[in-house]
Amino acid sequence: MIWSLIVASKAQTPAKAIMGMRVVDGRTGVPLPFGNYVFMRGLLGGVEQWIAVTLNFGVQVLMPLWDSRNQSIAAKVSNSVVVDV
């Protein structure tokens, strides 16, 4: 939310400024109004990140429960298993 307030005044992030880019309204071509930018980046972006983190965490933590070898994604990628000694 704070980041959206910082960059909304110019409708561009520092990276967009360096690249000569700006966020504009798709219908009018003018820089996005402050309220729309805050809504888009602050509120919608926050909800989107919360959903992505929740899904990722759920898969990472719960995947061993339904996997036949009780492996997480990291264990599958590294081809590692836990065995009794």
For range 16-33, the mean pLDDT = 81
Which tens digit of pLDDT belongs to each residue from 33-42? 777 777 777 7
Rg of the Cα atoms in the chain: 21
In percent, the amount of the chain with pLDDT more than 90 equals: 0
